[in-house]
Structure formats: structure tokens, C-alpha cells
Amino acid sequence: MRTSRIFPLNNPAKFKEQLLTWGSRFSEVAWLDSNEYELETGEYEAVLAVEAFTAIKTDYQNAFDKLREYQETTADWIFGYMSYDLKNDVEDLHSSNFDGLHFPELYFFQPQKLVFLKEGKIEFQYLRMVDDEIEEDYNEICRLENLSVAGRKPVEVSPRISKEEYKNRVEAMLRHIHRGDIYEANFCQEFYAENVKIDALDIYRSLNQISTPPFAVYLKLENFNLISASPERYLKKKGRDLLSQPIKGTARRAANVEEDLRIAAELAIDPKEQSENVMIVDLVRNDLSRIAEKGSVQVDELCKVYTFRQVHQLISSVTARLAEGIPPVEAIRSSFPMGSMTGAPKISAMKIIEELEESKRGLYSGAVGYFTPQGDFDFNVVIRSILYNSQNRYLSFSVGGAITAKSDPEKEYEECLLKARAMREVLTNL
């Protein structure tokens, strides 16, 4: 179905920039970059998928059934996203909050052209209808000069709710927790700008440079743009092995090495941050147990500190073996949306989130990734991400955190600003 050609890779950093520049001209672009992180499970250093041959775009109604049919019928590489609001397909829920972005709730495409970077090699995999263009495209990519965009205008974002209103809503969530309605819930707020024009690729490059996360994504599907510096894996399937790596627990970085190490060490033993993480690990274990072989769900790492450019994070790794006969899309449906962005108990948390948040989440706290022809997949969690609709010129990013019984509204607000720092920095061009 695809023709493969492999070329040597002499200068990976330069070629990645050339490849992304070349790929950005297409109407459909998916760029996934691991930034050489060793969350020990990445299959590729980077992947570029461009130019849709087929695609599926739909709202939440029967979305997972449609995705399963598309994935099984195509039996090829497909790239795309599932928005948070597919929760309404999984459970009897609804979304009626403000939505300025108007992204489809699910969008996947089958690329005509695929390029993989791994282990010092470049592999082109093209559909046969365009495979005579491989050599020509490779030569064109190698000739490209990387031209940075000069004189980018700063974009000032505004909060959808005030600091006081945010704190009031956290207090309302705490009342739910103290009443026993929920144990934990992820509460988010939106920052936005209207009538702005940006170069999404230029913003992506800047954000990736200052964040260098393991699950970076630049996605352009028509006028829908995602600029993602995500540090979190949602779910990966290889063969019948499943891996989820929820993040819960955040601390700032410090310029002073000793202070930075002290902050990381304090995060590792912080009881509030650990309890957040453990509750979500339990939720993930429960979700995966519904589609896993009996007794196969394991916690391989619990509350391990990982350090990123902007923050320290607590990450856990949960593994399972998919039961015989469970289709790939069903493995996702059983655990969607991911526990780290919802809460516990999950359905109650999602209802309360919908009630207290001001904006529809959409693609934020959804997932972006790919399926292989064999039905394997890898998806990130869409956090630390800027969303942009180039048609109505609406730009948005959201940040949030887990609210537990020990949460302090003022500190939760400070954590939101910490998570927003890199995105504000690239938008305001500081």
C-alpha cells in the first residue's frame, strides 16, 4: 500500500527544521516531535504526516463507532485528534459552555506522504499514487533554508474569568469534595484573544524551543491549528501492551541548581501532590482493567519526578495487556477522557467540571496522535497547548490543576499561571 525509501541523516536538528518548513505548506499537517526525550517508549524521534487522501471529521455523536469503522476500513496510518467532549459519546453527558474555537470534535486523516526520523535515518512512506515524488521531495527538503518570521506582533490574552471568580469556583468545587460528591477534579480556565492573526508554525517553533517536551505537536487541519508543548502521554498500544503515564503534581524550576534540586526533592515527598497522583493512578487502573487481561494491570512507576524546561512533574506509569478480541479504538473508549484531566469518581467529576468551568474544553484535554496499519497507537494529552482558528481568528489556551480537599485556591491560581508561563511568553514575544 505504501512505498518506503530510506536515506541517511547527517544533521538531525537541521533536517527536522527543513522537513517541518516543507510540510507546513500542506492543508493537512501532523508533526509529532519527541525532542529526544527518553520517556523510554517513543517509537520515533519525529514524524511528519501531510496531505490527506481520506479523512473523517465529526461531532461527538457515535464518534468512537465512526472512528473504529474508519480505522479498521482504512487499515493504514491515520493521524488526528479526539476532543475532550467525546465524553458525551462515552457517557450521558453534555457540553453547553462557551466555545470560541469551533473545532470539530473528532478529526483524523490518512496522509498521502509520511516521513519518519529514527536512529540516524529518514524513512519516506508514500502512498503508491505519489511514490514517484519521494526523491524529488527529499532533494527539495534538503535544499530549504530555514527562514524565521521577523517582527512578530505580540498577542495579548485575557482570562475568561477573573482571579476572584476562579477562586470562588475552586471554593465551590471544594464544597463538593467536602460533601463527598467527588474526591478530586481537574478545574481549568481559559485565556483567549479575538481577531488576531498569527503564524502558527512560528509560534510552535518558539514554544517548542523554550519547552522541549516529549509529546510536542504541530497540527494543521484546514483552519484548525494546534500548537502543543505537551509533556504527558495519554495512552500507547504496541501489540497488546498498553501504557498510560498520567501527570499529577507540579513544581516550579529555579535558576539556582541547589534550589532547583531542593524543589524537585520536596515535590517527590509532598503529600498533597502525591495524593493527587495516586488517586488518578487508581482511576487509570480501573479504566484499563475493563479491557485488560485479568491481573495484567500494573503500576510500573509511582510518583516519579521528571524535570522539564519549565516545571518539575510527578509522573506515574501504568501498564496492562489488552484482552484478546478488543479492538484498538475500544481500548481508548474505555479510558476516555483521561483521568488526569477529569477526576474521581470520573462521571461525577465531569458533571461538576461542566457546571463550574466557563468555557467548553474542546480539543484542550483531549488527545492527539496516530494509529498504525497494525492497529497500534500513541496519543498525548493536549495540555500546555495553544489552539487557533485561522478562519475566525480566535486564539485560546487553557490551564488548570487537580483540586483536592487540601487545595488552597490562591496556590491553585499560582499553579495555573506557572503552567501558562511558556505560552504567554511566546505569544507576547517577550
pTM over 0.85? The answer is yes
Task: Report whether the peptide linkage leading into residue 345 is cis, meaning its omega lies within 30 degrees of zero.
Answer: yes
Average pLDDT score over residue span 338-350 = 95
Residue 303: the pLDDT is 95
What's the CATH number where 330 sits? 3.60.120.10
In sequence order, the 6+-apart residues with CB closer than 8 A to the CB of 222 are: 27, 28
- Cα-based distances in Å from 325 to 284, 292, 322, 328, 340: 21, 11, 9, 9, 27
Q: How many domains does the chain have?
A: 1
| Comparison of pLDDT for 79 and 430, the residue scoring more | 79
In 3D, which of 318, 365, 308 has the Cα closest to residue 87? 365
Identity (one letter) of the amino acid at 134? I
**pLDDT tens digit string along 332-341?**
999 999 999 9
Confidence class for position 147, pLDDT limits 50, 70, 90: low
**pLDDT tens digit string along 158-180?**
999 999 999 999 999 999 999 99
Average pLDDT score over residue span 324-347 = 95
In 3D, which of 235, 248, 246, 210 has the Cα closest to residue 386? 210
| Comparison of pLDDT for 39 and 129, the residue scoring more | 129
Does the pLDDT value for residue 429 go beyond 70?
yes
Does the pLDDT value for residue 40 go beyond 80?
no
Does the pLDDT value for residue 45 go beyond 70?
yes
CA distance 141 to 163: 47
Q: Return mean pLDDT, the chain.
A: 95
Does the pLDDT value for residue 42 go beyond 80?
no
Q: What percentage of the chain carries pLDDT values higher than 90?
A: 91
172: left (phi over 0), alpha (psi -120 to 50) or beta: alpha
Identity (one letter) of the amino acid at 209? Q
The whole domain housing 389 covers 2-428
* Contact yes or no for 389/225 (Cβ under 8 A): yes
CA distance 397 to 210: 17
In residues, how long is the chain? Answer: 430
In sequence order, the 6+-apart residues with CB closer than 8 A to the CB of 253 are: 260, 263, 307, 309, 310, 311, 312
**pLDDT tens digit string along 243-294?**
999 999 999 999 999 999 999 999 999 998 999 899 999 999 999 999 999 9
Residue 120: the pLDDT is 87
Task: Report whether the peptide linkage leading into residue 214 is cis, meaning its omega lies within 30 degrees of zero.
Answer: no
Residues with a known catalytic role: 232, 248
**pLDDT tens digit string along 390-402?**
999 999 999 999 9
Please give the DSSP secondary-structure letter assigned to residue 338: P
Helix (H) or strand (E) holding 291: none
